[in-house]
C-alpha cells in the first residue's frame, strides 16, 4: 500500500512540475471542493470543461478547488486511494465532490473512484460526514437516472449559470444535516436532487458568453492539446441534426464576440503560439474569417476541431494550412444524400468534393472524415454510399485518409430518442465491410467497439435500475456488465429498443427546454424520409 501511494504521489508531483497556471490555495478556513474527472489525467486535461470549472470554482476567496482524476499515469490498482493532484489529499477530506462527466462509459469510473476512496456507494447510505456529491456535464445533464441512487445532486445545464447560486448555498449545505442540505440544494434552479423528487428540472444556460469566457487555465504537455491554448468561440448549434445531443441540449446558439476572442488569444500567447478554437460548429461563427485573419496577423497558429463543409471558407482553410495543421477534419456523418437528409445533415456532395480538392491543394498531410454507422433507417445501400463517396474523395486527395466509423448511439432529448439502436452484430458487419472495401485504397478505418457502444446505449437511455448494475460490477469488463445485468434481472435489449411516443422516458426528469412535440415532429419527418425515399432494397432497415 505504502509503495502504491508513494508511486502515485511521485507521479502527481512530476505532472505538477510540468504545469503552468495551476492554482495553489491554502486550505485554512476555506471550503474544499474536489473537481473529479472520471477518466485519465490526459483525457481530463484535454477537456476545456475541467479548465473552466477549475478556474471558476477557485474564484471565490473562501473556496479551494483541487483536481482528482480516475487515473494519473498508469491504471489505478484496486487498493489505490484516489488523491487530489494539488495537495495529494484523499477524497474524504473534501466537503464536496464535483464530478464533470462527458461520457456514459465513465460511470464505471465514478463507482470505482468512490469504492477505492472507501465512500459508501449509495447516496441514501451517506450522511453529512461524507462529502456532498454533485455531477454535471453532457452525459448526466441529459439523463442522470443511471446514477440517481449513487450521487446526491445533478447539475442540469451550464456551469456559469448554476455556480453563483450553488456556491452561495454550498458552505451551509456542507455543514448541516444531510436531509437539510438536500432541501437547500433542491430549491436552487437547475439542480436535480433525486432524494427530493424535484423533477422535472429545467435546464439553465448562460445568456452572455462574453461575460464568462472559457479558455485553457493550465498548460501542460500531457494533453491532446499540449501545443495550444483552447478558446471557446461559440456554444450550441442551430442546425438540428436529428442525432446530435449538442444540437438539442445547448440551445440557443451563442457566440463569443471577436473582441473577446482576440483578448483571450493574447492571454494564450503568453504560453503558446497556437490557439485551438472550440465550438459545436467552429466555421458557423459569424466572424470566423476576420477572427482567424487577425489571429494569424498576431503571429498565432490556428487549430479547430471538425468543420462544417457548407460554412468552411478558403480563408479558414488557408489559416489552418499556414498553421501546420496536420489533419483537416470534416463530418459528413452519412454516405448517401438520402440518409443525410434523414438525419437532417444535408451536405452538398459537389461542395464537399470541392473542399476536398482545396484541402489537397493546401497540402494537408491527412484528411479525416467522421461517419456514424447505424443511423435509424440506415440500409446496406447507405454503407455502400460511404464507399462511393470515399472513392470520389480518394481521387481528389492523394495523401492519408482516415475515416472514423463510429457506432451510432441514440441519445436522450434528440428526435432519435425514440429510435432503436442498431444491433452490435449489424454494426460490426457494416464496419468490417467498410474496412474490407476501403483498405485497398489506403484508407484507414477507425471505429469504437460495437459491443461497448451497446453499453453506452443502455446507459444513455437508462433508468435508475442501472445504478444497481454499476455497483454490482467488480471490474469494468463486458463480461462483468452482462453478469451484473443478469443478476439485476435486466436485459440490454430493454434499453436499446425503440420507445413508443406514449411511454414515460427515464430522462423526462430533465426539461431540456426543447418541447417533446418538436422532437416528435422531427422524428416523424425522419420516418417520412425513410418511407418516401427508402431504396427498394430496404432489408436491414433498423427501424
Residues that bind ligand SF4 (CB under 6 A): 237, 239-241, 244, 246-247, 280-281, 308, 345
Closest CA to 343 of 397, 284, 290, 414: 414
CB of 4 to ligand SF4, least distance (A): 42
Nearest CB to ligand SF4, comparing residues 33 and 280: 280
Minimum Å gap between C-beta 344 and ligand SF4 is 8
- The beta strand positions in 220-341, using DSSP E, are 229-232, 234-235, 254-255, 274-278, 301-304, 327-333
The full 3-state SS of 50-81, as one line of letters, equals HHHHHHHHHCCCCEEEEEEEEECCCCCCCCCC
Dihedral sign, Cα of residue 38, residue 44, residue 47, residue 50:
positive
- Nearest 5°: the CA angle 451, 44, 258 is 115
> What are the start-end ranges of the H helices in 269-348?
288-297, 314-322, 337-342
Q: Which is nearer to ligand SF4, 30 or 254 (CB)?
A: 254
**Which residue is closest to ligand SF4 by CB?**
247
CB of 109 to ligand SF4, least distance (A): 26
The phi, psi pair for 47, rounded to 5°, reads -95, 125
For CA atoms 19, 22, 27, 32, give the dihedral sign.
Answer: negative
The DSSP element (H or E) to which 369 belongs, if any, is strand 366-373
Q: Are strands 254-255 and 234-235 parallel, antiparallel or unpaired?
A: antiparallel
Query: How far apart, in whole angstroms, are the C-alpha atoms of residue 202 and residue 52?
Result: 23
Q: How far is the CB of 206 from ligand SF4 (least distance, A)?
A: 18
From the CB of 506, what's the least distance to ligand SF4, in Å?
23
> Residue 239 or residue 394: which is nearer to ligand SF4 going by CB?
239
Residue the block writes with cell 438536500: 182
Report in angstroms how near the CB of residue 241 gets to ligand SF4 at its nearest. 3
For the bound state, the minimum distance from the C-beta of residue 280 to ligand SF4, rounded and expressed in Å, comes to 4
Please choose, from the candidates 444, 325, 342, 448, the residue with its C-alpha nearest in 3D space to the C-alpha of residue 390. Answer: 444
CB of 279 to ligand SF4, least distance (A): 9
281 or 328: CB nearest ligand SF4: 281
- Phi, psi at residue 331, to the nearest 5°? -130, 80
Amino acid at each position: 500500500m505504502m509503495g502504491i501511494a508513494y508511486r502515485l504521489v511521485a507521479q502527481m508531483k512530476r505532472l505538477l512540475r510540468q504545469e503552468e497556471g495551476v492554482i495553489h490555495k491554502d486550505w485554512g478556513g476555506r471550503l474544499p471542493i474536489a473537481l473529479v474527472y472520471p477518466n485519465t489525467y490526459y483525457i481530463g486535461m484535454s477537456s476545456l470543461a475541467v479548465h473552466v470549472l477549475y478556474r471558476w470554482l477557485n474564484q471565490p476567496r473562501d473556496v479551494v478547488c483541487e483536481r482528482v482524476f480516475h487515473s494519473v499515469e498508469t491504471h489505478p490498482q484496486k487498493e489505490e486511494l484516489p488523491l487530489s493532484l494539488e495537495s495529494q489529499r484523499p477524497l474524504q477530506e473534501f466537503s464536496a465532490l464535483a464530478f464533470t462527466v462527458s461520457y456514459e462509459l465513465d460511470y464505471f469510473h465514478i463507482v470505482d473512484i468512490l469504492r477505492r476512496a472507501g465512500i459508501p456507494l449509495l447516496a441514501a447510505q451517506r450522511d453529512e460526514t461524507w462529502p456532498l456529491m454533485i455531477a454535471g456535464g453532457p452525459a448526466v445533464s441529459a439523463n442522470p437516472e443511471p446514477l440517481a441512487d449513487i450521487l446526491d445532486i445533478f447539475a442540469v445545464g451550464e456551469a456559469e449559470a448554476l455556480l453563483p447560486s450553488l456556491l452561495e448555498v454550498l458552505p451551509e449545505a456542507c455543514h448541516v444535516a444531510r436531509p437539510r442540505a438536500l432541501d437547500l440544494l433542491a430549491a436552487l434552479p437547475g439542480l436535480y436532487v433525486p432524494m427530493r423528487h424535484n423533477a422535472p428540472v429545467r435546464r439553465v444556460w448562460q445568456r452572455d458568453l462574453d461575460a464568462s469566457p472559457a479558455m485553457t487555465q493550465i498548460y501542460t504537455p500531457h494533453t491532446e492539446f499540449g501545443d495550444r491554448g483552447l478558446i471557446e468561440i461559440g456554444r450550441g448549434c442551430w442546425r438540428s441534426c436529428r442525432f446530435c445531443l449538442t444540437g438539442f441540449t445547448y440551445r440557443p446558439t451563442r457566440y463569443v464576440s471577436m473582441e473577446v476572442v482576440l483578448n483571450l488569444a493574447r492571454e494564450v500567447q503568453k504560453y503558446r503560439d497556437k490557439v485551438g478554437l472550440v465550438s459545436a460548429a467552429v466555421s458557423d461563427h459569424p466572424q470566423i474569417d476576420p477572427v482567424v485573419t487577425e489571429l494569424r496577423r498576431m503571429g498565432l497558429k490556428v487549430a479547430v476541431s471538425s468543420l462544417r463543409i457548407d460554412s468552411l471558407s478558403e480563408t479558414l482553410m488557408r489559416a489552418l494550412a499556414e498553421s501546420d495543421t496536420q489533419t483537416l477534419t470534416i463530418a459528413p456523418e452519412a454516405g448517401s444524400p438520402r440518409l443525410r437528409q434523414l438525419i437532417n445533415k444535408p451536405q452538398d456532395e459537389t461542395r464537399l468534393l470541392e473542399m476536398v480538392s482545396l484541402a489537397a491543394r493546401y497540402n494537408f498531410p491527412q484528411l479525416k472524415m467522421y461517419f456514424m454507422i447505424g443511423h435509424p433507417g440506415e440500409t446496406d445501400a447507405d454503407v455502400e454510399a460511404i464507399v462511393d463517396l470515399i472513392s470520389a474523395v480518394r481521387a481528389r486527395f492523394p495523401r492519408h485518409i482516415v475515416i472514423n466509423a463510429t457506432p451510432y448511439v441514440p441519445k436522450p432529448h434528440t428526435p432519435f430518442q425514440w429510435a432503436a439502436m442498431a444491433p452490435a452484430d449489424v454494426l460490426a458487419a457494416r464496419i468490417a465491410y467498410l474496412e474490407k472495401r476501403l483498405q485497398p485504397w489506403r484508407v484507414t478505418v477507425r471505429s469504437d467497439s460495437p459491443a461497448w457502444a451497446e453499453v453506452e446505449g443502455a446507459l444513455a437511455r437508462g433508468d435508475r435500475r442501472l445504478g444497481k448494475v454499476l455497483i454490482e460490477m467488480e471490474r469494468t469488463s463486458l463480461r462483468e456488465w452482462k453478469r451484473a445485468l443478469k443478476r439485476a434481472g435486466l436485459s440490454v435489449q430493454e434499453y436499446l429498443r425503440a420507445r413508443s411516443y406514449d411511454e414515460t422516458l427515464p430522462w423526462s426528469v430533465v426539461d431540456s427546454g426543447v418541447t417533446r412535440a418538436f422532437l416528435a415532429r422531427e422524428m416523424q419527418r425522419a420516418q417520412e424520409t425513410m418511407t418516401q425515399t427508402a431504396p427498394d432494397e430496404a432489408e436491414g432497415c433498423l427501424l
